[in-house]
């Protein structure tokens, strides 16, 4: 770790620590974070009541390595969207993360909502390994669960987008290599270069050093070829989240078929509501990637 810089001193791209902290606090752009979190939980409870679901399936040995699986139609040929929640690597879980499920089911997809360990109890390397293990477990159990193993699409929002991007990298240091088995990726409002994160308040929980920061910055380690990827953000995001999005789009374009979405009327927290919703930029892009375009919710 490093000593705190003097108050007001520039720590990253001309920003002092207070400014950098605001830039990596997306709730600084919305009226009430708590209102979103309550809505996530309420909508997730409604999704579990309204749809068949297999809950708390263990994909690993750690107590947090659990997922909820919502079966789709199609006699085993439904595509699967694996949703990785956000929360700055420190908050949320399966209980608050089933809210994107209903429109995806209506469009013909199956959905898995995964839980993973959180900081400070679990480090970032281990979190990335957990997401890889969840993908690997789902693929190994595709026949029993009833989805097409060649149609698994990995989606993450905020910190979840970072972890999803890490799963696209070959030769991981932790967890199985699932990079060649992911049919498509959806990255929402993510952080892909963690150097500014290391220098912000977020690192109080993550405890990243410089080596771990480089190791866990997917934009620095992208392979030559990647699956089709949707990269999306809200119109109301901090300038640093916009910059991270722009850099990732630029880095991906030579490596993958990329669909960029900027949802002008959405922010960091309500953008995932559009997943699977026909007629929205994000919904249409995700349904097209999954081969479900033309369906109606």
| Average pLDDT in the chain | 95
Question: With pLDDT > 70 as the criterion, what percentage of the chain qualifies?
Answer: 96
Q: Which residues pair with 261 in a beta bridge?
A: 232
Q: What is the pTM (predicted TM-score) of this model?
A: 0.96
Helix, coil or strand: residue 293 = coil
Q: Which residues contact 185 (CB under 8 A, 6 or more apart)?
A: 153, 154, 155, 164, 165, 168, 226, 227, 228, 229, 230
Joined tokens for residue 24 = 């990596």
Q: What is the pLDDT of residue 4?
A: 61
Regarding beta strands 54-58 and 15-16, do their DSSP bridges make them parallel or antiparallel, or are they unpaired?
Answer: unpaired
Tell whether the model's pLDDT for residue 296 goes beyond 60. Answer: no
Residue-wise pLDDT tens digits, 173-202 = 899 999 999 999 999 999 999 999 999 999
Q: What confidence tier does 36 reach under pLDDT thresholds 50, 70, 90? A: very high
**Whether the Cβ atoms of residue 83 and residue 113 lie closer than 8 Å to each other:** yes
Q: What confidence tier does 115 reach under pLDDT thresholds 50, 70, 90? A: very high
Query: What domains can be seen in the chain, in order of their start residue?
Result: 31-289 (3.40.50.1820)
Residue 118 CA to residue 96 CA, distance in Å, equals: 15
Q: What confidence tier does 297 reach under pLDDT thresholds 50, 70, 90? A: very low
Residue-wise pLDDT tens digits, 230-243 = 999 999 999 999 99
Residue-wise pLDDT tens digits, 256-269 = 999 999 999 999 99
CA dihedral for 98, 103, 104, 105, sign (positive or negative): positive
Joined tokens for residue 216 = 């866990």
């Amino acid at each position: 770790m490093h000593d705190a810089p003097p108050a007001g001193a520039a720590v990253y791209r001309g920003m002092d620590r207070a400014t950098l902290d605001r830039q990596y606090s997306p709730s600084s752009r919305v009226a009430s974070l708590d209102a979103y979190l309550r809505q996530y939980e309420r909508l997730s409870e409604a999704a579990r009541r309204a749809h068949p679901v297999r809950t708390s399936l263990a994909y690993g040995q750690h107590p947090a390595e659990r997922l909820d699986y919502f079966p789709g139609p199609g006699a085993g040929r439904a595509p699967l969207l694996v949703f990785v929640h956000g929360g700055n690597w420190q908050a949320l879980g399966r209980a608050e993360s089933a809210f994107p499920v209903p429109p995806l089911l209506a469009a013909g997809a199956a959905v898995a909502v995964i839980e993973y360990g959180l900081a400070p109890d679990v480090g970032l390397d281990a979190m990335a390994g957990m997401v890889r293990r969840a993908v690997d477990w789902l693929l190994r159990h595709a026949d029993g669960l009833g989805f097409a193993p060649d149609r698994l699409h990995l989606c993450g929002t905020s910190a979840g987008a970072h972890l999803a991007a890490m799963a696209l990298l070959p030769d991981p240091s932790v967890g199985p290599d699932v990079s060649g088995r992911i049919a498509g990726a959806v990255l929402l409002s993510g952080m892909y270069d963690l150097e500014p994160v290391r220098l912000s308040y977020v690192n109080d929980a993550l405890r990243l050093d410089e080596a771990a920061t480089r190791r866990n910055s997917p934009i620095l380690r992208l392979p030559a070829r990647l699956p089709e990827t949707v990269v999306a953000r809200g119109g109301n995001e901090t300038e640093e989240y916009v910059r991270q999005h722009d850099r990732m789009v630029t880095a991906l374009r030579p490596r993958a078929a990329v669909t960029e979405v900027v949802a002008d009327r959405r922010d960091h927290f309500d953008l995932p509501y559009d997943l699977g919703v026909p007629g929205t930029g994000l919904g249409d892009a995700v349904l097209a990637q999954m081969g479900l375009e033309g369906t109606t919710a």
